[in-house]
Structure 1
Amino acid sequence: MNSIDLTPLYRNSVGFDRFANLVDSALNTESVTTAYPPYNIEVLDDNRYAITLAVAGFELSHLDIVVEKNILSVKGKKPETDEKREYLYHGIATRTFERKFHLADFVEVSRADLDKGLLTIELVKEVPEAMKPKMIEINQPAAEAIEHKVA
């Protein structure tokens, strides 16, 4: 198992515990992960992203999207049917799946659309005004207080 020492990061940083947990989680995850369903992650502009999953054969009622603690979870489950089919070749997978994506702070889901077998989830990063950088004014004593009176 690989290990990364993040001690140098902590010498000059505060509040990166979530980052360390993310790195640790990535290193401890099984190296064999399922590729189903395939997906794309796009950058639409500076603060907008889209995740598109190929979910052929799934209807809206078969899909769930949940965001909890900065983890976007997409689940698909087809209901059991009594219909028996005989396939010569069965290449379109419609099995149950769960795909998780770690979201950065302040990234929120803005919408989700299902069109032609593609589930597109749009994300937007909206940093609250209180968290944005702000200029701090440096005060100087008034000019009168600086002047020394010569007696």
Structure 2
Amino acid sequence: MTRTSPFGSPLFLGFDHLEQMLERLSKNGGEGYPPYNIEQTGPSSLRITLAVAGFTMDDLSITVEDSQLVIRGRQAEEAQNRVFLHRGIAARQFQRTFVLADGIEVKGAWLDSGLLHIDLERIQPESRARSIQIGMRPAGASR
């Protein structure tokens, strides 16, 4: 079965990066850890909150890569001399990815009581309409 792309039409010029982001998003769609909330905190601002209990600021990293917000967590190796009678708290790494629309900027992040908060803001773009003048074909240009 052939998979068709929503951007397969010749009318969508230069949208290859969107198709790649949708593919990456579909691969990450089944992950459930860590749980998160997305809330609107103002008319043009959002906050993502992730539950990252057990992680310190040094264990977490936040980057923006190709219009994607990537949050990674990796806990430091525990001391080898610890003996667990029961281990119910997993020390596992994670990567959570959010696709950012054009004009969304990360304003800041902070860790508080096991919750990682990331503030985002939508920057209102200015209208960029312009006229294209039609001229004569340059001499020597192929048809």
Q: Distance in 2 between matches of 1:65 and 1:45?
A: 22
Note the residue ranges of structure 2 that are not aligned, 5 or more in a row. 131-143
* TM-score, L = length of structure 1: 0.69
CA displacement at 1:134 relative to structure 2: 6.5
CA displacement at 1:72 relative to structure 2: 1.1
Q: Distance in 1 between matches of 2:104 and 2:117?
A: 16
Q: CA RMSD in A?
A: 2.8
Note the residue ranges of structure 1 that are not aligned, 5 or more in a row. 137-151
CA displacement at 1:99 relative to structure 2: 1.1
Q: Aligned residues: percent identity?
A: 36
Cα contact 1:56–1:94 (8 A) shared by 2: no
Largest Rg, 1 or 2: 1
Match of 1:139 in 2: none
Q: Distance in 2 between matches of 1:30 and 1:61?
A: 24
Cα contact 2:36–2:50 (8 A) shared by 1: yes
Match of 1:93 in 2: 90
Match of 2:60 in 1: 63
Q: Establish whether residue 72 from structure 1 lines up as the match of residue 69 from structure 2.
A: yes
Cα contact 2:25–2:99 (8 A) shared by 1: no
Structure number with the higher helix fraction is 1
Match of 2:40 in 1: 43
Match of 2:141 in 1: none
CA displacement at 1:107 relative to structure 2: 1.1
Q: Distance in 1 between matches of 2:93 and 2:129?
A: 51
Cα contact 1:58–1:94 (8 A) shared by 2: no
Cα contact 1:47–1:125 (8 A) shared by 2: yes
